[in-house]
Amino acid sequence: MRSDLLNLLQSPDGESLTYHNEGNNEFLEASSGEKFLITNGIIRFLDNDLITGNNKSYQKMYDRIAVFYDLAGKLYAILKEGGEEKRLREYLSLLNINEGDKVIEISIGTGRNIKYLNPNAIYFGVDISIGMLGQCFRKMKRIKREISLIQTEAESLPLKSNTFDVVFSAGGFNFFNDPGKALNEMLRIAKSGTKVLITDETERFRLKHTKNEFYNKIAIKDPRSFLNDSCINIEYKEICDGDLYVLTFFKQ
């Protein structure tokens, strides 16, 4: 494991970590003795038995659909926007990523956003679904992008404070158990002056799909209601024919 990556990580309780490779087993060990396995390049901080609520439900769902997720997304984008890249760039174009920046995507899924971003940055991805992270790991190998992948909840990021130059979340905010806590974690790991971007489906989108049982269960959350005084230069707009909102702000 790269030393620069290890220096960014901490246990969910804030403890320092050491890297171990014993035989075929890779893991991180906290100062308390707790161990976190690394499997197929994914650092696993999540105890599945402790997941509850929305996080548990959506973890199971995305594990089931991970293999088909990209294909379904591409077909939808072709029908709605004329292609995946055009649709994704409506919000990705709002990110300012420079060479060498540390960039993290919360709820990275299969990593479909990463291939459209500056290849000379340093990328990290977080998700609760090991199925989606597995697809992301394989995709990054195919497109020859180096990325560090972490299985954890957005509400408890095993990363040190004030470390990232760009923080964004695309398509996870409506599903979090505690969106306020997740947003505070994004702010915590962001450096002062970092731009944070959150995008997800709007209430308008949900109302267009009320016959779909899945969308009837979603409670659309306005991310602006969770902002605090450390958030400045706040901008909010709807894109993709009103299907998605995009909220951007800077950490003071």
pLDDT digits (tens, 9 = 90+) for 163-182: 999 999 999 999 999 999 99
Residue 23: predicted pLDDT: 85
Same-domain status, 27 and 63? no
Positive or negative, the CA dihedral 25, 29, 35, 40 is negative
Same-domain status, 33 and 99? no
Same-domain status, 94 and 193? yes
Same-domain status, 51 and 141? yes
Residue 1: predicted pLDDT: 76
Total domains present in the chain = 2
pLDDT digits (tens, 9 = 90+) for 202-232: 999 888 887 777 777 788 889 999 999 999 9
pLDDT digits (tens, 9 = 90+) for 124-175: 999 999 999 999 999 999 999 999 999 999 999 999 999 999 999 999 999 9
Residue 32: predicted pLDDT: 95
Q: Is the pLDDT of residue 118 over 90?
A: yes
Across-strand partners of 28?
Answer: 19, 36
Are the beta carbons of 2 and 38 closer than 8 angstroms? Answer: no
Q: Is the pLDDT of residue 80 over 90?
A: no
Confidence label for 45 from pLDDT (cuts 50, 70 and 90): very high
Same-domain status, 129 and 8? no
pLDDT digits (tens, 9 = 90+) for 10-27: 999 999 999 999 988 999
Same-domain status, 11 and 86? no
Same-domain status, 20 and 125? no
Q: Is the pLDDT of residue 103 over 80?
A: yes
Same-domain status, 33 and 105? no
CATH of residue 156's domain is: 3.40.50.150
Residue 210: predicted pLDDT: 77
Same-domain status, 79 and 13? no
Same-domain status, 76 and 141? yes
Same-domain status, 126 and 23? no
Alpha carbon distance 175, 106 (integer Å): 12
Same-domain status, 169 and 124? yes
Range of the domain at 6: 1-39
Alpha carbon distance 231, 193 (integer Å): 10
Least Cα distance to 232 among 215, 245, 251, 247 occurs for 251
pTM: 0.94
The average pLDDT across 61-83 equals 85
Least Cα distance to 171 among 233, 220, 208 occurs for 220
Mean pLDDT computed over every residue of the chain: 93
Long-range contacts of the stretch 8-17 (C-beta < 8 A, 24+): 8/102, 8/124, 8/159, 8/160, 8/163, 9/43, 9/158, 9/159, 9/160, 10/158, 10/159, 10/160, 11/36, 11/45, 11/158, 12/45, 12/152, 12/156, 12/158
